[in-house]
Amino acid sequence: MTDDVLISIDGKAGRIRLNRPRAIHALNTEMCVAMAKALDAWRGDTSIEAVLIDHAPSPDGDPKKSRGFCAGGDIRMVQESGKEDGKAAREFFREEYRMNHRLFTYVKPVVAFMDGITMGGGVGISLPAKYRIATENTKFAMPETGIGLFPDVGGGWYLSRLPGRMGQYLALTGARIDGAECLALGLATHFLPSEALDEAKRRIADDPQAIETILGELSVAAPEAKIMAHAKEIDRLFASDRLEEIFTALEEEGSEWGNQQLEVMRTKSPQTMKVSLRLLYDGARTATFEDEMRQEFAVASRVCQRHDFIEGVRAVIVDKDNDPKWNPATPEGVTEHLIDQIFAPLPDEEAWTPA
């Protein structure tokens, strides 16, 4: 086990608390394994009626220092592995996706508290939950194309099922949305003020059968969901599954909002923007979440060792010069043949499987 995630039982609820505050609770391999083992142990335990997933407070108890629920995965480790044989990176993805799949198929109700930064891997452990709690602190994003990665942990499944072309917009731009916007898009099921979370957790642990009632009583009206003001623009400008056509649509639009999206997308990896569009196209047509995870593992296994990911992490996370040199540098340079290679199934002995 690891101190990076705290596993406990509180009344009738199993508790999973992420505990890497200095890394905004980013997931590592050991955390994913520990979470999966806890879920397995509680699956057949009749005294456990629900599972709560949140993050531990900062060591000194100051809520202002507890910035997020989960900022993603251990990207530096994945990059270092990707520069060599990629073995540790593949092991991380394998265990993370197995844990994601357990959550998705879990019989008992899971409640995820998305209080603060919820990005990448944090999305992967919250969206499978039956109850997904947003607050005024929620900052949700899948920003992977900015580091040469793609929205994994089920992103192809979840984002492709959002209204209109919202999923494509979020995947390509990495846009951050707040708790009200999460609620409006169905990414969150409830909106609670952060000061009500402790009461919610206490009451659910006491009486998990009353989760619906408890969350209903503690929910408040969410602020205006600003993203909905741009829903028609998003559906129109991001309508194509071809990246070049989306760029053309934004360029021809010429509006202030469209130009802002264009400027953002020009900083992203053309390769992984195309990977993301393919992922969502295929994901909308994928029959099971297991199939989705199998495909994403094949893609992740290859992308983590490609130039754009190594370079993106260097520029954004390691050196912080925010000036990655993508290769290919333009959407036109990323061929369909390359994307087909990235999406090709792995040999059976290397492919992802549920635990």
| Cα–Cα distance measured from residue 28 to residue 12, given in angstroms and rounded to the nearest whole number | 28
Asked whether residue 123 carries a pLDDT value surpassing 80, the answer given is: yes
Q: How far apart are the first and last CA of the chain?
A: 18
Catalytic residue among 82, 121, 122, 155: 121
Express each pLDDT in 69-100 by its tens digit. Answer: 999 998 999 999 999 999 999 999 999 999 99
Residue 351: the pLDDT is: 98
Asked whether residue 62 carries a pLDDT value surpassing 70, the answer given is: no
pLDDT, average across residues 338-351: 97
Asked whether residue 61 carries a pLDDT value surpassing 80, the answer given is: no
Residue 1 binned pLDDT confidence (cut-offs 50, 70, 90): low
pLDDT, average across residues 107-136: 97
Catalytic residue among 152, 178, 292, 296: 152
The rounded mean pLDDT for the chain is 96
Asked whether residue 63 carries a pLDDT value surpassing 70, the answer given is: no
Asked whether residue 65 carries a pLDDT value surpassing 60, the answer given is: no
**Percent of residues, the chain, with pLDDT higher than 90:** 95
Asked whether residue 58 carries a pLDDT value surpassing 80, the answer given is: no
Residue 67: the pLDDT is: 74
Residue 57: the pLDDT is: 84
Residue 262 binned pLDDT confidence (cut-offs 50, 70, 90): very high
Asked whether residue 194 carries a pLDDT value surpassing 80, the answer given is: yes
Taking alpha carbons only, the member of 246, 313, 235, 310 closest to residue 273 is 246
Taking alpha carbons only, the member of 108, 98, 114 closest to residue 36 is 98
Residue 2: the pLDDT is: 81
pTM for this model (two decimals): 0.95
Residue 59: the pLDDT is: 66
Catalytic residue among 54, 74, 144, 296: 144
Residue 66 binned pLDDT confidence (cut-offs 50, 70, 90): low
Express each pLDDT in 298-333 by its tens digit. Answer: 999 999 999 999 999 999 999 999 999 999 999 999
Residue 151: the pLDDT is: 97
Asked whether residue 240 carries a pLDDT value surpassing 70, the answer given is: yes
Is 14 designated active site? no
Is 120 designated active site? no
Residue 198 contacts residue 135 (beta carbons within 8 Å) = no
Residue 131: the pLDDT is: 98
Which residues lie closer than 8 Å to 292 by C-beta, 6 or more apart?
154, 156, 157, 283, 286
| Cα–Cα distance measured from residue 44 to residue 52, given in angstroms and rounded to the nearest whole number | 16
3-state secondary structure the chain: CCCCEEEEEECCEEEEEECCHHHCCCECHHHHHHHHHHHHHHHCCCCCCEEEEEECCCCCCCHHHCCEEECCECHHHHHHHHCCCCHHHHHHHHHHHHHHHHHHCCCCCEEEEECCEEECHHHHHHCCCCEEEECCCCEEECCHHHHCCCCCCCHHHHHHHCCCCHHHHHHHHCCCEEHHHHHHHCCCCEECCHHHHHHHHHHHHHCHHHHHHHHHHHCCCCCCCHHHHHHHHHHHHCCCCCHHHHHHHHHHHCCHHHHHHHHHHCCCCHHHHHHHHHHHHHHCCCCCHHHHHHHHHHHHHHHCCCHHHHHHHHHHHHCCCCCCCCCCCCHHHCCHHHHHHHHCCCCCCCCCCCC
Q: Which amino acid is at 97?
A: Y
Q: Which amino acid is at 259?
A: N
Residue 64 binned pLDDT confidence (cut-offs 50, 70, 90): low
pLDDT, average across residues 126-133: 98
**Domains within the chain, CATH numbers bracketed:** 5-343 (3.90.226.10)
Catalytic residue among 72, 73, 82, 156: 73
Residue 355: the pLDDT is: 84
Asked whether residue 166 carries a pLDDT value surpassing 90, the answer given is: yes
Is 144 designated active site? yes
Is 263 designated active site? no
